[in-house]
Chain A
Amino acid sequence: MAKKRKSNRPNRPGPKPAATTPTPAVIPVVPEPMMATQGPVREPVFWFGFEVTWTKLVVARFAIFALLAIDAFLAIRHAPRYGAGDFNVGQLGFLGDLGPGRIGYGVGQLALTYLFAMIACGVATRVLVPLGAAIYAWLYFGSQLDSYQHHYLVALILVIASLVPWQRPAGSDPAAPVRTWAVRLLLVQLAIVYLWAAISKLDGAWLDGSTLAKQMTGKVGALITSTIGMKVAALLVIGVELALAATVWSRRTWRIALPLGLVFHASIAATGLEIGLFAFLMLGFYVLVVPDRIWVALLRGIHAPLDRLAAPSWIAWGIGFVAAIGIARFVRVEHAFVVAIAASAVPLVVAIHALVRGRGPAAFVGLAHVLAIALWLLLDRTSDVAVDYYRFWGGSQRRLGNPEVAERAYRRLVAIAPDEEVGHYQLGRILLQQNRGDEGLAELHAAQHLEPMRARAYIAEARYLQQQGKTAEAIEKAKQATYAEPANPDARTLLDSLSAPGGARPPADDSE
């Protein structure tokens, strides 16, 4: 029996609707060979007859890739662990030698942030999505350092996303359906994840609620305990995962999957578990589960301005090109400027491609380029990524016995964040260990100024003075340490040992 169809949809099989308005301003990007919008539906219809509207694809593209862009930038803080101590283990044994080092990982994540932002804006998706997938796969499969299921899922999703026709041709009907077997595959992939996640919980330690009780702490844990109890909650989780596995891939059951999935993942996000943006990313995928007509109704007015941005404009392109490089100068992450210069190749190639076709580059290409670089700056200045990067780099190199490298990291930390006391404190300690007293004490004094209520910088100075035989000055500094942080046991012990008759041997410097 033939299915009832929405009135705004063409009958299938048959050609999809052509653009409803003339399209002189075609977006100068790589064409979409995966966009099967013509001809009868091939078998099996389950895959090759799957359709979503352009509007939904555009919203999903923006939601998913914007989240991935943010996630990629936040991952930069992990770069110092890559290659540290010349040790690495790949996801598969033979991949260990191919894994990224600190610079490779940092540059790779910065490049991914840029690429995902450009994809979110709809620039050259046929090329940039596979490129992003390849870089992500290298970073993920090259090392087990960040090997959560989240990273594995993103790697797979990016491979599938490489086959999705993400770009709506300018002027085409936003409500027109586009056939895309890859989106069906993406939903089936999610269903498989839910299925196995449920199977993994068919274990006594999950079913009795004890595992969940250890994972759910804080307010959410207390709320569950005081209402339905952990055992019931644990069973509910399995039930929800199985229900989502059965419903998320089929249009007919989206009305079940949508509320269930949104509540489920929003609840996980609310728990505050340290899973990065995983819960939000899963919420992003539910854009695909929201009925198409809702997106079309909500965003009816947005396509006309988007189409105007698709008009060729060398001026907009040029302004974006130059402004992006200017913005990149203010990004504090290592190698950001170099990566920005390299990233300029994207709008450049798009412009050359357009030129070869006898057009100019679309205005939105320049705009997307500058937005992508501006996203770096925004995330840099609103997060601790750059500070953490240098702090973690310095800390790991210090512990691994490379004080010269640690000094370089802490000097950079002090340069980009002069108000961060940890940079001054650690740099001071390293300099004192190298007998560079004046420089080291200056850094410790800066730390004391920035954190007057903490004893550690005073203790470090007192120990150094003691080693120099300046006992009276050391006692004075130890006293200041106890004033700064009266409850600090190290400060009290140091003062006692220095004040003891006959002096004292310098205690071990184990402060962090």
Chain B
Amino acid sequence: MKQALSPIASIVTLARTWQGVVILVIVATQLLLPLHYYTVRRDPHDERFAWRMFSPMRMTRCTSQFTVNDAPVPLGGAFHEAWIEIASRGRFMVIEEMAAKLCNDRPGSSVRVKLTCTYVDGDQREYGGYDMCKVPRL
């Protein structure tokens, strides 16, 4: 009777072939990458690559107020509504890029973004409120 390989021996054996390396890379990546969300990801609303289907965070709704030199910016005239929808889910990376574009289009201006998010349990949190041309991250 052939003995099954121990887990460590299996990994070592796998690493000897390209097929095994593919398996190891995909399995390890898929097991570990979602940990990024729970440990070091700075944006709790950004659930990409974490397999958080139908999670409570997905129900979060945010309102973002963009101002340029203290004047409100009508976002619909500057960005496609699909981006505004993503911003309404509070995704920092997209909001920061939107602010960066406004800074870029209006050199020397002050672009402020105030993000107010309401979570599924009713909690509210605010982010930003400062000049994102100077501090580009929320």
Contacts and interface: CB of A to CB of B under 8 A. Distances in A.
A185 B121 contact: no
Nearest to B96: A89
Interface residues of A, number: 52
A93 B136 CA distance: 14
Contacts of A201: 54-56
Interface of A: 1-2, 42-48, 78, 81, 84-85, 87, 89, 91, 93, 96, 144-145, 147, 149, 152, 156, 159-160, 163, 181, 185, 188-189, 192-193, 196-197, 199-201, 203-206, 210-212, 214-215, 237, 396, 399-401
Q: Is the interface of A mostly helix, strand, loop or mixed?
A: helix
Given A47-B14, A206-B55, 13 more contacts: A93-B93, A144-B91, A145-B83, A147-B48, A160-B26, A181-B23, A185-B27, A196-B34, A197-B51, A197-B52, A197-B53, A205-B121, A210-B56
A144 B14 contact: no
Contact of B119 (A91, A205, A396): A205
Contact of A44 (B13, B59, B94): B13
Leading 9 A-B pairs by shortest Cβ distance: A196-B51, A205-B56, A200-B52, A84-B80, A44-B10, A81-B82, A211-B56, A200-B55, A192-B30
Given A44-B14, A210-B121, A211-B54, A87 B97 contact: yes
Contacts of A96: 97
A401 to B, nearest CB: 6
Interface size class of B (residues with CB under 8 A): 35 or more
Contacts, number: 128
B135 interface: no
Given A87-B80, A214-B59, A144 B93 contact: yes
A210 B120 contact: yes
Nearest to A206: B56
Contacts of A188: 27
Given A89-B93, A96-B97, A185-B26, A399 B120 contact: no
Contacts of B101: 87
B1 interface: yes
A260 B135 CA distance: 50
21 contacts: A1-B1, A44-B13, A47-B14, A89-B93, A91-B48, A96-B97, A145-B82, A147-B48, A149-B51, A149-B52, A149-B53, A152-B49, A181-B19, A181-B23, A192-B31, A196-B51, A197-B54, A203-B56, A396-B80, A399-B81, A400-B77
Interface of B: 1, 4-5, 10, 13-14, 17, 19-20, 22-23, 26-27, 30-31, 34, 47-56, 59, 76-83, 86, 91, 93-94, 97-98, 101, 119-121
A163 B20 CA distance: 12
B83 A401 contact: no
A464 B22 CA distance: 65
Contacts of A159: 26
Contacts of A93: 93
Interface centre among B1, B13, B17, B26 (most CB of A within 10 A): B26
